[in-house]
Amino acid sequence: MSRRRILALTAFMVLILVGLAWLARPHASTDSNEQLLAPNEPKQVAVQRPRPTLQPPTERSQQRERERQAGRSEKPPPAAVDLGTDTAEPLSFEGHLYIEIVDTDGYPVEEAGMGMRGDCGRRSYRVTEGEADLMVDEGLCTLIAWRQDGALRTLSDRVEVDVLGGDEVDITLVLPTERTGGLGVQIQEEGSGMRVVMVVPGSPAERAGLQSGDLITEVDGTSTALLSIQDFVQVMTGPEGTDIDFVVQYDEDTGIVAEPIVVTRAFLEG
């Protein structure tokens, strides 16, 4: 065997021994916390981050938590809307009248009467403490109030209202505060005026000189031939203590005399 071959064999054996020695040395376990790093790769170090600081719960969050545990919500559920139901009021053929009867000073009239006529019917009522509450048929209705002043009746102005079914109407009827006075005569209607039929003894008419048979041709400057008997009676009555001017005709031996007479209205006992 030549020397060169011996050197090559020796080198080969050395390589085999080195390889066996490397394989025989202990290796890192896969369960180890160490990691095999590639050349020039920096070692990664695990950093423990600080835990966040817990803030104390707010009142609102506590309330929500209480509601959650109670199984209910602070906000009520929305109301159901029924879109198929007709909520309109049922049709009515009656109206509701709220009536006040007061004097000219605005005070309720304690004892009064009231009448109505028209589509609402023809009825009369006694009203106490100045208030009335009525259901009436729809249509045109005329109302009037009165108060009994001795032998005379004091009237309010008429109020006309057109009532529709389901209406609520406020009505105020006003009566004079002063008592109503009169003259104390009975009359009848004639073509040329109002004839005096009777004069009540002790009445304002008697004190003024009116006598049965006299013909009243004018009242406060208006010809009585133009007035109905209802209009004339309304003119004759008025506030107690006020005056009314007449022109009266009567027969004398010398013929027909026309004379002005002033009569002061007075309260007449009933």
Convert the pLDDT of each residue in 42-97 to its tens digit: 444 444 444 444 445 445 456 556 665 665 444 443 333 333 344 434 445 788 99
Over the stretch 129-184, which tens digit does the pLDDT of each residue have?
999 998 988 899 999 999 999 999 999 999 999 998 888 999 999 999 999 999 99
- Asked if residue 13 belongs to a domain, the reply is no
Tell whether 168 is covered by a domain.
yes
Buried/exposed 208-226: b ≥16 CB within 10 Å, e otherwise: bebeeebbbbbbeeeebee
Q: How is the beta sheet containing 168-175 ordered, strand by strand?
A: 131-137, 94-103, 168-175
Consecutive H or E run containing 161: strand 159-163
Domain of residue 170, residue span: 94-175
Q: pTM of the prediction? A: 0.55
Any domain includes 44: no
Of the three residues 175, 209, 242, the one that is the final residue of a domain is 175
Q: What is d(CA 244, CA 232) in angstroms, rounded to the nearest whole number?
A: 12
Examine the domain organization and report whether 167 and 185 are in the same domain.
Answer: no
Is 229 inside a domain boundary?
Answer: yes
Same domain, 187 and 169: no
* 38 part of a folded domain: no
Per the DSSP assignment, residues forming a β-bridge with 94 are 137
CATH number of the domain enclosing 225: 2.30.42.10
DSSP-assigned beta bridge partners for residue 222: 219
Tell whether 88 is covered by a domain.
no
Q: How far apart are CA 170 and CA 98, in angstroms?
A: 5
How many residues appear in the chain?
A: 270
